[in-house]
Structure 1
């Protein structure tokens, strides 16, 4: 499936490009993102280019559908998507992060809502899971706004900064 552009309110969702490298380095060098997201450390422009290239490869190979979230000026406001695509069971895990300048305005929930519509209506998904650290209240609000149902706690499920953290597990079905 070719990448598609989506709209989420005043935001456009499209593919990350090599031109996003400097913005990625700046946006991801953020205490809150590093606090909650393992594996989002980019040290230089080469790493940013590799990150963008890997996202394109994942889409092309049906492993992940992800979008850069851009404001009206085209600035990178975050990323949202559906990862760990299981074509047999028609399931994925949703993810999102938001640049500091765009937090607290409903950007993540709006963008994730657009990606859910794509997942259910275009990709034919049955189930979308969503996980976040128990202490991440902003991600909990995103899950609730997007209509996910809380399923439980995954004990010690994610390693961040050398410590294992419990995750809340949410899901949403195409029939919800």
Structure 2
């Protein structure tokens, strides 16, 4: 699958970049250094520009392998990276995916998550023809719970995460 860009109204969803015109790597390093971010995003380490470059390349490769759709949530006039939204755990044959989301600490509290999640979900149901999209978060993450509610997900309950054995996550579903 080729990466696509989405005009999400207040924000622009585009591929993560590290090139001569736009370089998301410094902002990625900042975001991943945040204590709140690293509390909930534990599968990735981005401690320097080299690791950030690998992260950008990984996200691009996942698009082409039909494994994950991932977008930088960008400020539309400057292109500045505000966060990342994605659909992971894609199973295009069975029609399932899961929301992946983080917002840079400096951009939190502005409603970015709701706009981005709704745009990604529309893409998942429309372009990818998914039948079900999950949203999972740590039980202590009240911001993620509010996003799930505002985006029309139905709370299913606690479930395990295969990437974090023993760590229950709150699971929401949207069909």
Answer yes or no: same fold by TM over 0.5: yes
| Conserved? CA contact 2:63–2:69, under 8 Å | yes
Given that 1:21 and 1:48 are in contact with CA atoms closer than 8 Å, whether structure 2 keeps it comes out as yes
**Corresponding position of 1:22:** 26
In the alignment, which residue of structure 2 is the partner of 1:91?
96
Q: Distance in 1 between matches of 2:120 and 2:161?
A: 28
Q: Select the residue among 122, 144, 164 that pairs with 1:117.
A: 122
1:135 corresponds to 2:135: no
Residue 5 of structure 2 aligns with which residue? 5
The 3-state SS of whatever aligns with 2:152 is coil
Counterpart secondary structure, 1:96: strand
Query: 1:42-89: per-residue Cα shift (whole Å, max 9, x none)?
Result: 122111111111100000110000100011322110000100111221
Q: CA RMSD in A?
A: 1.5
Unaligned runs of 5+ in 2: none
Q: Does 1:41 align with 2:48?
A: no
Is the CA contact (8 Å cut-off) linking 2:85 and 2:102 kept in structure 1? yes
2: CA distance, partners of 1:164 / 1:45: 32
Q: CA deviation at 1:156?
A: 7.1
2: CA distance between counterparts of 1:117 and 1:11? 15
Deviation at 1:23, TM superposition (A): 1.4
Paired position in structure 1 for 2:173 = 171
Distance in 2, Cα, partners of 1:33 & 1:140: 15
Rounded Cα–Cα distance in structure 1 between residues aligned with 2:91 and 2:8: 25
Contact in 1 for aligned 2:32/2:47 (Cα 8 Å): no
2:62: which partner in 1?
58
Whether the aligned pair in 2 keeps the contact of 1:157 and 1:166 (CA below 8 Å) is no
Structure 1, gaps ≥5 residues long? none
